[in-house]
Chains A and B, each alone.
Chain A
Amino acid sequence: MKRFGLGLGLISVIAVAVWTYHVNYRTRQAFDRISDLRSEMAAEAEAVQVLKVEWAWLNAPQRLKRLVKENNDQLGLVRLEPRRFSFVATVPFPPPEPLVPDPGVMIAQQLEKPDMAELVPSFSAPQPVARPRTQGLTQQVAWSGQ
């Protein structure tokens, strides 16, 4: 019994020792990872800072202006001036689309034209006669002229 207890104690001591060893190393690894991540974050933050400044430098108004000046033959930019403004209402609507005739109409166009000559009336209509301008009817003439 005594030997059994001793053995049990020994095993438990070994088990606890192994566990402690394990936890110890895991903790150390975790610390390593934290410091790695911290330095990584610091490096990233530094990169962000550098990139921010670089972005601002690349977009500095003077630099953009110089670039536009150099390349404006391709860009064709003009300055925003008072006369560049307008109202949407003044923009004309696009022209209507060309009318595509119905296929039936297309066919009808190709049919032979009837002889129009026989539709002309054979009598001659009386020509309209100008109303004689008289002194007494000036008012009426003025009115009909409207």
Chain B
Amino acid sequence: MTDLARSKTMGRKGIRPRDEWRVILMMLAFGVAYLVAGARMGVLALHEPEEPRIVRGDRGTDPVRGEILDRNGVLLAGNLPGWSLYADPHFVFDPEATAGQLFDILPSVPRERLTKLLTKDSRFVWIKRPITPRQRQAVLELGNPGLMFAAREVRVYPSGRLASHVLGGVKAENEGVNFAELVGNSGVELSENERLSDPSRSAEPLQLSIDSAAQMTMEEVLRAAVDYYGAKGAAGVLMDVRTGELLALASLPDFNPNLARKSFTGEAAYNPRFNRAAQGLYELGSTFKVLTTAMALELGLADPDTMLDTRTPVSYGRNRFRDHGRIRDQQSVTDVVVRSSNVGSIRLALAVGTKRFKDGLRKLGMFEAVPLELAEAQQARPRYPRNWTDLTTITASFGHGISVSPIHLAAAYATLANEGRRVTPTLIKGGNAPGEHVYSPRTSRQMMRILRQVVYRGTALRADIPGYELGGKTGTAEKFKPEGGYYHDRVISTFAGVFPTSKPRYVILVSLDEPTDPDSGKREASRTAVPVAGEVVRRVAPLLGVRPLTGAPAKRRYESIPVGLPAELDD
């Protein structure tokens, strides 16, 4: 081998070519290792050191769920930051003792349940949601690593029971450690759920038409009335005649929307969650005579002074309908309403005719659910016989055989008072524009005069609050038995009215379920619902800015408390 050949085979430094590749490979490997280490160091150097911490969601400054205000901007539903307690049983020291300590802090959770939860073979259990800040502090002081908190928004109703049926409530859905979705479960919270949970609109509160002062007054008077008359429940509606805005919508018994839904055993209609004003369907009795009369006036079949024969009872098939109390030979249309004559209103309804009568009720929306912003109201379709005969017309003329909600009736009265233009009730501030004419303005004025007469000298005498020109109609309807027929000792007594009748502004409706006047033992609306309605008007009208007429003393002076209401109301 020559030198040249050797140098070629041995390489530059006397290494063989195979060794050279080995060195290069090693250098590459080291290079890659250094590069990786360097890059990692660089990343670490550039990366901001950050401590893990509990963040209340990345939601910015807007509330999680839109707030609900009343018409004057009073907060009815808001959000509060809260915490839910959960545990990882694997990290809980001494589950038995911890359960005891937790029971002292959270008395609402049964102790056995706590023990069972903390000894469960799981990595995650909810213990209580949500908890108060004080409870959270107490749990933190236990210092148990297995107990942890999840940030939550809690829906609160600062006014408690006020307008509970309107607001409804919320429940948590899709609940996780970092987030829980609040979903409405009844009332406005349910029907306006999309709008309230829409993140783009959560900053602007939802403003209801409810006036919290009027609402409180209504609830307060109704509560006193339920106690006094021993009623099973009550419903109250106060509606603006021009816009259909509901200023107060009360139903008793009520509930506290801040508390979780309780299970209820018994008839659904007596559940405190049941909204009697919007959901309850009742035969509202003589209050329908107003609608019958208005139809007859509208069609020109009669005017307020037309005399009707009310001596002979009306017979239809084997049914005979007669008046209660003193039978008069003939009465004017006004007196038929003022004295609440069944025979008179049947004669008017028969003159109107079944087809036109049914049509008149349909125009008032008596056959479909009220398009109110309440999920309950949208499901409450009136009940009436499928095949509508003359007999149905006869019974419907004085409010039997057709069951509607108090809101239906209030809307019908508002339509009558609003110069005959159809009023659609709403719970959102701003109201609805009046619809087409159902009655002429002339009929409306005539009916207002008749309604005023009912209060001035008729069955609703006890609601004659001086100065407010209340007009309205009473209705006492016997409740029907579930097995058929009617109870004779259980009634729904209703008063539906308008004030002031010379320039209608508000419709008021009060309905009591099974009341009895303890003084006289009577159940008629004139002794039960009427004084209650009068008291509501007397208290609410000044709040709404209605000025009383001066120099118009009532026929009977009810200076403070209308006859038949307890004195302790006047506090």
Q: Which residues of A contact B (CB under 8 A)?
A: 28, 38, 41-42, 44-46, 49-50, 52-57, 59-62, 65, 69, 79-87
Contact = CB atoms under 8 A, between A and B. Distances in A.
Nearest to A28: B48
B539 interface: yes
B467 A56 contact: no
Given A41-B60, A82-B548, A85-B550, A61 B216 contact: yes
Nearest to B53: A39
A62 B216 contact: yes
Contacts of A80: 542-543
Interface string B56-82: 100111110001000000111011110
A53 B547 contact: no
Contacts of B541: 82
Contacts of B571: 69
A86 B550 contact: yes
21 contacts: A42-B61, A45-B60, A45-B62, A45-B63, A46-B56, A49-B78, A50-B80, A52-B78, A53-B78, A56-B74, A56-B75, A60-B158, A61-B213, A61-B216, A62-B162, A79-B539, A82-B465, A82-B541, A82-B542, A82-B548, A87-B550
A46 B79 CA distance: 9
A60 B160 contact: yes
Contacts of B61: 41-42, 44-45
A85 B159 contact: no
B212 interface: yes
Contacts of A69: 571
B563 to A, nearest CB: 17
Interface in B64-119: 67, 74-76, 78-81
A52 B48 CA distance: 37
A49 B80 contact: yes
Contacts of A28: 48
Contacts of A42: 56, 59-61
A38 B75 CA distance: 26
A59 to B, nearest CB: 7
A44 B61 CA distance: 8
Nearest to B81: A46
Contact of B159 (A44, A45, A49, A60): A60
B542 A59 contact: no
Contact of A60 (B78, B79, B81, B162): B162
B468 interface: yes
Interface in B399-456: none
B165 interface: no
Nearest 4 pairs of A and B residues by beta carbon: A45-B61, A56-B75, A56-B158, A80-B542
Contacts of A65: 216
